[in-house]
Chain A
Amino acid sequence: MATVPAPVITATNLVKKYKDFAAVDGISFEVAPGESFGLLGPNGAGKSTTMRMVGAVSTRTSGDLSVLDLDPNQFGPEIRSQLGVVPQSDNLDAELRVRDNLIVYGRYFGLPIGRVKARADELLAFAQLEDKAKSKVDDLSGGMKRRLTIARALINDPRILLLDEPTTGLDPQARHILWDRLFRLKEQGTTLVLTTHYMDEAEQLCDRLVVVDKGTIMAEGSPAALIREYSSREVLEVRFGSEKNAEVAGRLEGIGERVEVLPDRILVYSDNGEAELVRITERGLHPITSLVRRSSLEDVFLRLTGRSLIE
Chain B
Amino acid sequence: MISTDSRLVASVSRLRPMRSLYAGNATSVMQRGWLATRSSNWLVILSGFFEPIFYLLSLGIGLGSLVGAVTTSTGHAIPYAAFIAPALLATAAMNGAVYDSTWNVFFKMHFAKLYQGMLSTSLGPLDVALGEILLALLRGALYAVGFMIVMQALGLTLSWWALLALPAVLLIAFGFASFGMGITSYMKTFQQMDWINFIMLPMFLLSATFYPITVYPEWIRWFIQAMPLWHGVELVRGLTTGDVNIAMLWHVLYYLVMIVLGLILTTRRLRALFLD
A residues at B contact (CB < 8 Å): 55, 57-59, 74-78, 80-81, 83, 85, 87, 89, 91-96, 100, 104-105, 107-110, 156
One of A55, A59, A75, A96 near B120 (C-beta < 8 A):
A55
Q: Is the CB of A104 within 8 A of B35?
A: yes
Residue on B with the closest CB to A55? Answer: B120
Q: Is the CB of A87 within 8 A of B116?
A: yes
Residue on A with the closest CB to B120? Answer: A85
Q: Is the CB of A110 within 8 A of B23?
A: yes
Q: Is the CB of A104 within 8 A of B120?
A: no
One of B116, B118, B276 near A59 (C-beta < 8 A):
B276
Q: Is the CB of B274 within 8 A of A77?
A: no
Q: Is the CB of B120 within 8 A of A87?
A: yes
Point out the residues of chain A lying under 8 angstroms from B121, CB to CB.
80-81, 105, 108-109, 156
B residues at A contact (CB < 8 Å): 19-20, 23-25, 28-29, 31-32, 35-36, 39-40, 112-114, 116-124, 274-276
Bound: A74/B113 CA distance, A: 24
One of A77, A92, A110 near B19 (C-beta < 8 A):
A77
Point out the residues of chain A lying under 8 angstroms from B275, CB to CB.
57-59, 76
Q: What are 15 A-to-B residue pairs whose CB atoms are below 8 Å?
A: A55-B120, A76-B275, A77-B19, A81-B121, A91-B114, A94-B112, A96-B39, A104-B28, A104-B35, A105-B121, A107-B32, A108-B29, A108-B32, A108-B118, A108-B121
- A contact patch SS: loop
Point out the residues of chain B lying under 8 angstroms from A87, CB to CB.
116-117, 120
Q: Is the CB of A104 within 8 A of B23?
A: no
Query: Nearest 5 A-B pairs (CB), nearest first?
Result: A91-B113, A95-B36, A81-B122, A108-B121, A107-B28
Bound: A95/B37 CA distance, A: 8
Q: Is the CB of B31 within 8 A of A107?
A: yes
A151 to chain B, nearest CB (A): 14
Q: Is the CB of B36 within 8 A of A96?
A: yes
Central interface residue in B114, B117, B123, by most chain A CB within 10 Å: B117
One of B39, B122, B124, B274 near A109 (C-beta < 8 A):
B122
Given contacts A75-B20, A95-B112, A108-B121, 9 further A-B contacts (CB under 8 A): A57-B275, A59-B276, A76-B20, A81-B121, A96-B32, A96-B36, A104-B28, A104-B32, A107-B25
